[in-house]
Amino acid sequence: MTVSSLPEMADAITDPRVSTVDRAADSDEIRALFDLVRELNRDLLVPRVDQAEATGSFPRDILHTLGAAGLMSLAYPVEIGGGGQPASVSLQVLEELATSWLSIAVSVSVHSLACFPLVHAGSLQQRQRWLDQMLSGERLGAYCLSEPDSGSDAAALTTRATPTNGGYRISGRKAWITHGGEAEFYHVMTRTGGDGPAGISCFLIDAETPGLSAAPRERKMGAWASPTAAIILDNVTVTSDRLIGDEGQGFAIAMAGLDAGRLGIAACAVGLAQAALQAAVAYATQRQQFSQPIADFQGVSFLLADMATAVEAARSLYLAAADRADRGLPYSAQAAMAKLLATDTAMKVATDAIQILGGYGYTRDFPVERFFREAKMLQIVEGTNQIQRMVIGRHLTGVRR
């Protein structure tokens, strides 16, 4: 291949950026949902992804469109304004979105996580007042647990809410917040009591509340179209109806949300790995060396076979965890296993995809180098993969430390 044929080659492997997975759908409604997502991917996401990721522009308008299509809250019950889909379906939608554009899928997953506290711990009055605009995606959400000095040890957070007459005054700093500076509402985990998890409470704070501001965006390795910024709370005054759940319940609410959130990240990781696999297959069947497609060399086709098997295994694991969630069974350990396997798989498959593309894979003319940078993020967010192993280990042994 000459250097001048590079853009054509890049175009050829750009085409399959809509998932080619043959999905089983139990009903016409679910089949239509999967078709709709692929159509949106083809017409809306794929044409915009390269430029937005290169320039770091946040595609808020696309999230509005997905919200209008009902895709921002698929897993929540219809009665409260959600899509009423089982986790097994809503997660496959996330996977589809991630195959075309990871940052968008992460936004949908994080928005769903940001709705979790109000859905599961809010009073009827609180839900009636705020939930509609959140679940419709009209107001975008952020989930604020991490702080500069408490990441994996989230229960050590120091943001403090002090009681006032009729409410609370909140000061502190939240770190690494996805949608920081772009979200319209923030669920903020805050200390109202003593040390440890029992002293933490959850507050719902509007973006426009005086004293709440965002630091400049983090300069991340990848997922540039997904804004990440610290949130500064400087004497933010809220009324007591902004407390979600009781005082002291915040950490339990945050952890329950993370079980669902980790399944979302697992589905995103499988979508990303699927995109890397499709790019590698497309390239290997076109690229000729020694007068034949490189896919005809067993060394390459075995690598592709291992990649495909790993992606399928990760998909099966998140769907098995989703099945437990849909049946109302405990699934914390299974969610941690799915997040661990799927994100490690995304990292490995993206790395191998670069190997299959050779020198071209190491350039920005092909998407696989971006997949590689994005996969790394997934091994860190919503609990690093070491923390997932800790969750799984505790589940096995019952030992807390």
Ligand X SMILES: Cc1cc2nc3c(=O)[nH]c(=O)nc-3n(C[C@H](O)[C@H](O)[C@H](O)COP(=O)(O)OP(=O)(O)OC[C@H]3O[C@@H](n4cnc5c(N)ncnc54)[C@H](O)[C@@H]3O)c2cc1C
Residue 247 tokens read as: 């005082």
How far apart are alpha carbons 387 and 348 in whole angstroms?
19
Please select the residue that binds ligand X; options are 85, 103, 112, 146, rule is CB under 6 A: 146
Tell me which of 9, 30, 72, 110 binds ligand X, using CB under 6 A. Answer: 110
Q: Which is nearer to ligand X, 155 or 308 (CB)?
A: 155
Residue 206: its H or E element: strand 200-206
Residues 221-250 that bind ligand X (CB under 6 A): 228
386 in contact with ligand X (CB under 6 A): yes
* Smallest separation, CB 384 to ligand X (Å): 3
What DSSP string runs through 117-147?
Answer: HHHHH--HHHHHHHHHHHHTTSS-EEEE--B
Site for ligand X (CB under 6 A): how many residues? 21
Q: What secondary structure letter does DSSP report for 4?
A: G
Q: At what angle do helices 250-286 and 87-100 cross, to 10 degrees?
A: 50
DSSP state of 224: T
208 is catalytic: no
C-beta closer to ligand X: residue 36 or 256 = 256
How many other β-carbons are positioned within 10 Å of the β-carbon of residue 384? 16
In the complex, what is the shortest distance from the CB of residue 229 to ligand X, in angstroms, rounded to a whole number? 10
Residue whose beta carbon is closest to ligand X: 151
Q: Annotated catalytic residue: which of 53, 95, 147, 382?
A: 382
Segment near ligand X (CB under 6 A), from 79-87, 142-150, 194-202, 340-348? 142-150
4-12, 155-163, 170-178, 241-249 -> range binding ligand X (CB under 6 A)? 170-178
Give the Cα separation of 320 and 314 in Å (integer).
Answer: 10
Residue 381 lies near ligand X (rule: CB under 6 A): yes
Among 116, 176, 185, 366, binds ligand X (CB under 6 A): 176
Q: Which one, 340 or 357, has the nearer CB to ligand X? A: 340
Q: Which is nearer to ligand X, 218 or 323 (CB)?
A: 218
Query: Looking at beta carbons, which pairs linking 18-27 to residues 24 or more positions away fall under 8 Å?
Result: 18/42, 18/46, 18/99, 18/100, 19/95, 19/96, 19/99, 19/100, 19/271, 19/274, 19/275, 19/278, 20/278, 21/95, 21/96, 21/99, 21/274, 21/315, 23/92
Closest CB to ligand X among 5 and 152? 152
Q: What is the largest CA-CA distance in the chain?
A: 80
Nearer to ligand X (CB atom), residue 324 or residue 394: 394
Contact 266, 343 (CB under 8 A): yes
Smaller CB separation from ligand X, 113 or 294? 113
Instruction: Give least dist CB 78 to ligand X, A.
Output: 27
Taking the complex as a whole, the smallest distance from the CB of residue 142 to ligand X amounts, in Å, to: 6
Residue 384 binds to ligand X (criterion: CB under 6 A): yes
Q: Which residues of 291-310 are buried (b: 16+ CB within 10 A; e: fewer)?
A: eebbbeeeebbebbeebbeb
Q: Does 152 bind ligand X (CB under 6 A)?
A: yes
Q: Least distance to ligand X from the beta carbon of 148, Å?
A: 8
Work out whether 145 is an interface residue with ligand X (CB under 6 A).
Answer: yes
Piece in contact with ligand X (CB under 6 A), picked from 77-85, 146-154, 242-250, 282-290? 146-154
Backbone dihedral angles phi then psi of residue 162, each to the nearest 5 degrees: -105, 130
Is residue 191 a contact partner of residue 157, using CB atoms and an 8 Å limit?
A: yes
Q: Applying CB under 6 A, which of residues 88, 90, 109, 178 lies at the interface with ligand X?
A: 178
Catalytic residue IDs: 382
Residues that bind ligand X (CB under 6 A): 110, 143-146, 151-152, 176-178, 220, 228, 377, 380-384, 386-387, 390
